[in-house]
Structure 1
């Protein structure tokens, strides 16, 4: 894990004891801090206490207690560390911390404060509404393939504080949501990337401009000599004005997307362009980058090719939780049987409309099923199937050789599933059973 003398002797409150919260507790205690933790889940509290007690065998002393932070006097703490899931705009603990004069931070800020004590390294930070995970994993893959010591964390993989420090010359690649950036004050990324900004998570912000400003803070924390890569559309729209060395995201002429099986579609061209740009400024050669692009395996639930059956390709794009994320998947395949729906984030599919000609038929599910069926009916055959099982059954029966059965819901999953992973896993199970 990552520890730092900078944390020693301080008293931290950690609100939320799931994956990143538990990793934070462990790292702080191992660093010599005192920690008071809380989670509304009995199981999470018990697991945290048990795991910290197991650590005590290897520590001189263990200072950890569980206390209801919703009722505690927050002025006794040096910092309140919250998980990104806590909405700072409306959660009572956020206002109580402000009233008590206690800073509110997250685990990424703790990592930033630990950096001076780590072996010399560089940090790449990636944000944007869509494409963060793929770009982060792709950069990590390219670096690893080239033999560069690297780890990825933030909004993907293991919590960053749970990972062992990299040796000198290593590169930490961090996927950063707007929520994580909101909880960060001093992360000076050597290379920062903004892929795109489209309306999302507006329940956490006072309008779209506030959401865009949250994303842009990744550049405000950079030193002037660092590198910033920004989608040209975001720059031209005035959404960002980086202080660091500014570069637009452009795909070099020497690359050939046709050689990348796991990176098809226009959105993946942009993701690859960002990864190529970042790895180039980090010193990798064109040949090293090209070889890694060809071998990149892709991420689960992101245009994931499940199987081909009787000439029909089945693709799991469950991570596409809004129309903007679904549009590139529709653009990537010429003959689609489209499964969509769930818990809608918008009342339209305007971003998808330019690619309707690629859709042979659509099958809607979930809360948005009826609405989306009405929106699509003038443009294509559509059936409101209600459930994923029914939708796949209809799509598989209707498909012909050369078609792609595409789960790209353009919706959140919470009406019928725990999360987009569970929705995608269910789709994969159903496809495997055909």
Structure 2
């Protein structure tokens, strides 16, 4: 655990008692604070009370008297589409609002680090797509190379649940826009921007607000080195803002769309080959085509970002390649869950938006595509450009028919539920084809989260196998 610094004998309120909220309450208590907690869910309050935390309705008059700060869980909106009532009450009372990420960065380190030969470092990864795989891949490569590394944030453990890092240790954090938009402290040593595409627009008041939430990690954090995906205009804008001029190798540009050369530090992947260029010369390369855990162009972008981070942390190309080869991939992200009679079944339930689903479709030559769910803003137009590999789509979700009418250029069948979709796709699939779950939509119309949706796909496939 990372005890929160600077809160001894201070009263701090915690709103939201999921994983990050309870973790923050524990770390606050470990730092000497009195944590008062609230969650609208009675079961969550009971769990907190079982650990000895006082639960106080923060909407009651006087609830914020003598409260030094309000710590908010990431799923609770603080600005758009409208502020949560408790957050608005904290504003009115003049109480600073923060989250567990802010507590982590302000509490990490201290006088004990003076005894280290090599100070620990923090790598923070954000972006629309691929940040989970990129974070896990960085962590895996570091561990495979014998480095002390921990994985936390939006993946793995809560940021305050990790062990204090030791000499030369690396903490790898996956950070969502929900986490970066509110944290009052953001000071990673290395920051990564994978890519950006429309997502969570209601939460951020549009694309500009969404990008602004991501940009805070770089603009306010002042990292020593930045790895920036430059295949979107926002990435190119960000890289330009962070660079002090031509040849500034504190910014590493990453692309899967074009070769990057010239002054500076560049990593790009094209046609399955990753290349590293510095000062106009190639200094490293990896053949990604045979890396089973990283199929497709989208995973090659993840690999390029992870490669750049590991290089800046002192690993050599061959060490990184060895780590790539042993990486098994993440559940629900281009995860091979079975094969029968030459047909592969791949679970990419995490492809909850159009861009992520498009990348998944591009990774395979002939696809029986299971899609549908709670549609996000923007429609499916951009996805159809990447659907040339689709043999047939099998649509699920409560509004499957509405989703299906937007699909054209291939055969479409409205199935409604996962069991029907998997059975129909498997029955019609031919050797060499892939039955792919890549929903291009949120899961909340039928499932609690994308993990439950992916697990259901795996269960249905297991019945067939």
Say whether the fold is shared (TM-score over 0.5): yes
CA distance in 1, matches of 2:360, 2:128: 16
Match of 2:374?
Answer: 343
- Superposition pairs for residues 41-60 of structure 1, below 5 Å? 41-51=41-51, 53=52
2:140 alignment partner in structure 1: 141
Aligned pairs for 1:384-423 (under 5 A) are: 384-423=414-453
1:65 to 54, 58, 63: 54
TM-score (ref. length: structure 2): 0.87
Q: Residue deviations 1:244-290, cap 9 Å, x none?
A: 83221123421111121011111111110000000100101111100
Contact 1:75 1:101 in 2 (8 A): no
Deviation at 1:239, TM superposition (A): 5.4
* 1:231 maps onto 2:229 in alignment: yes
Distance apart, 1:348 and its partner CA: 2.7
Using the alignment, how far apart are the partners of 2:132 and 2:233 within structure 1? 19
- In structure 2, the residue corresponding to 1:173 is in which secondary structure? strand
Aligned partner of 1:93 in structure 2 is 86
TM-score (norm 1): 0.93
Residues 128-187 of structure 1: CA deviation (Å, up to 9, x unaligned): 011110001010101111111111111111111112112121111011111101121222
Deviations 1:386-409 (A, max 9, x none): 111111111011101111000100
Partner residue of 2:97? Answer: 104
* Alignment-derived partner of residue 121 in structure 1: 120
Q: Which moved more, 1:404-413 or 1:86-95?
A: 86-95
| Cα distance between partner residues in 2 of 1:206 and 1:18 | 25
The partner residue of 2:396 within 365, 378, 392 is 365
Matching residue of 2:38: 38
In the alignment of these two chains, the number of paired residues is 421
1:188 Cα deviation after fit: 1.1
Pairing partner for 1:261 from 278, 285, 292: 292
Unaligned runs of 5+ in 1: 54-63
Given that 1:222 and 1:243 are in contact with CA atoms closer than 8 Å, whether structure 2 keeps it comes out as: no
- Counterpart of 1:281 (choices 308, 312, 325) is 312
Shift of 1:18: 1.6
Which range moves more in the overlay, 8-17 or 309-318?
A: 8-17
The question of whether the paired residues in 1 share the 8 Å contact of 2:201 and 2:377 is answered with no
Q: How far does residue 74 in structure 1 lie from its aligned partner after superposition? A: 1.9
Aligned twin of 2:209: 210
Distance 2:9 2:242 in 1: 36
Distance 2:426 2:327 in 1: 29
Map of 1:148-163 to 2, 5 A cutoff?
Answer: 148-163=147-162
